[in-house]
Amino acid sequence: MPFGQLRHVCIRCYYCNPPQTPWPSAVNHPSCSCVRSMAIHPEFVLKPPAKPTDLEVIVRKDKSLVITWRSTDSRASLFELRICYYPFEGPIIRDSPTKSSVHEVCGAAKHVLHPGDLPKAQAWVVKISLKAKSEGGESESAECQVTWEGELSDEESKNDLRERAWTFDRQDLCAFMESKKKHPEVLVLGPQHHGKSSFVNHVRRCLRGDLSLNDELDTAPAGAEERTIEAKRVSIEVGSSSRMTFIDTPAFSTMNADTIRTLQTLLSSSVHDGARRLDLARDELSWVGAPPHAMILVISLCHWRDQADEMRTYLEKMARVLKNASGGTVEFPYVVAATHCDKFLMECQQDDPCKELDKAVRGIKRSALTNHVYAIRNCERESAGNARNNKATFDLLSQLLTKARNQDTARSQTSFVQRWFRRGRRAIEENRHFLGGVGVGGTLLAVAWHCTNPVGSAAVGFLLLGA
């Protein structure tokens, strides 16, 4: 009843024995003749209970739901829990769920089994609403939702991965090796705690066709400490005679001037196993081996969601360096792995998580200056396979090798050596009149006078010895 409405109450009894509940509409007390009209006090008005708080959902492996909440209103004696299931990729119309159920709960937690008539292996969006009930009515609804992708059985997952790995080996990997005459080497680079090491472990399981394999690289929960402190090379066998090498690098968390110089060095020279950040920051090219053939940039979808402006700036600066590698002579081949796709979907509270995922991927594409962005769930050991995730992983690898096959990342090295060979030849021609009888030693000394760079002197020496 609204505050201010008049009700007949016994004034004497009201002051002698204050009521614990609102007074009835009329009072006829036998020992009191004083009955007057008065305004009811607000604390005695029947009000709906407060809205429940801290509504949380945990999805178990059997797809049952453990739902917990907290109520700060002692009047709430009962809770109404409504659970609605919607298809992940279908239109989500709130009043037309595929399946719904209503539960009345006395406590502050409920374990709900997955509906028997809904396939567990299918992807679902589950919306949950909760109301508190009391004599005063119902509270406002507390709402949350969870989303998960479809799953494959162990046998289906192995067959799917092995078929994709076989196709990738025969088509993409063989074509790359025929073109380059080398096994591909790929940099894996990204900010801290975005899933670089986990991604390499995931790719290894996919290429080997076995999600039960142990981790090749160490991983740990996100924290203040950086996990990867040195470059680590992981060679993964593909088929019977092929392999790919992935180089997990220390995190590039910011794109300041020093980091950009380090990245330019990394893209222009070979990276030896165990190289630490200080080694990479020396801005000295290593001519012992060629630079990697391509790069996978790892970006967390959850970081993109929570730190959009910061991540947008990071990607734009990274893309500019990649588009102008080796002093502007090479457009370094790269693709983007948008990781933590499963966590992004599970935490998404928008009406249509599928559209939110597409929106995030489109945003990363614009900032990274490439259409080759793939939403990935890093499969951990013994995790269930997923057909969409398998396809995205192998599409990423296929596109990466296609771009790498059509680009020479060692172009600057080749041009540098060629320039010194040409300089050495000119030195020989210019000094031919007095080099006739001095032999190879004298020739090398003479050429060294013209070629002060050690690499150039060595190149000319090999040229002369070959002649």
Query: Are residues 166 and 277 located together in one domain of the fold?
Result: yes
CA-to-CA distance for 432 and 279, rounded, in angstroms? 43
Quick one: pLDDT at residue 47?
A: 85
Cα distances (Å, whole numbers) of residue 100 to 67, 78, 86, 91: 16, 20, 9, 16
User: Same domain for 385 and 334?
Assistant: yes
The H or E element containing residue 201 is: helix 196-208
Residues 304 and 391 in one domain: yes
Domain-embedded: residue 1 = no
Average per-residue pLDDT in the chain? 81
Indicate if 369 and 390 belong to the same structural domain. yes
Provide the pLDDT for residue 392.
97
CATH number, domain with residue 362: 3.40.50.300
Percentage of the chain with pLDDT > 70? 72
Same domain, 165 and 134: no
| Structural domain boundaries enclosing 339 | 154-409
Same domain, 176 and 265: yes
Kindly report, residue by residue over 39-60, the tens digit of the pLDDT. Answer: 445 555 678 899 999 999 999 9
Last residue of a domain, one of 85, 116, 148: 148
User: What would the pLDDT profile of 405-433 be if each residue is shown by its tens digit?
Assistant: 999 888 665 444 444 445 555 655 666 55
Predicted confidence (pLDDT) at residue 245 exceeds the cutoff of 50? yes
| Cα dist from 67 to 23, 72, 99, 110, 129, whole Å | 38, 17, 18, 5, 11
Give the Cα separation of 433 and 456 in Å (integer).
Answer: 22
Is 10 inside any structural domain? Answer: yes
Q: Does any domain span residue 120?
A: yes
160, 296: one domain: yes
| Mean pLDDT lowest among 33-37, 113-117, 265-269, 337-341 | 33-37
- Are 361 and 255 contained in the same domain? yes
Which of 148, 163, 194 is a domain's end point? 148
Last-in-domain residue among 84, 113, 148: 148
Q: Structure pTM?
A: 0.77
Q: Residue 188: inside a domain, yes or no?
A: yes
403 in a domain, yes or no?
yes
pLDDT at 5: 43
In eight-state DSSP terms, residue 42 is G
Assigned token pair, 270: 């070979």
Which segments of 29-88 are extended strands (E)? 35-39, 53-59, 65-70, 78-87
Count how many domains the chain has: 4
Same domain for 33 and 61, yes or no, is: no
Write out pLDDT tens, residues 142-200: 999 999 999 999 999 999 999 999 999 999 999 999 999 999 999 999 998 899 999 99
Same domain, 172 and 305: yes
Cα of 203 vs its chain's centroid, Å: 14
Please classify residue 374 by burial: count the beta carbons closer than 10 Å to its beta carbon, then call 0-12 exposed, 13-18 middle and 19+ buried: buried
Claim to verify: residue 297 and residue 426 sit in the same structural domain: no
Q: 166 and 144 in one domain?
A: no
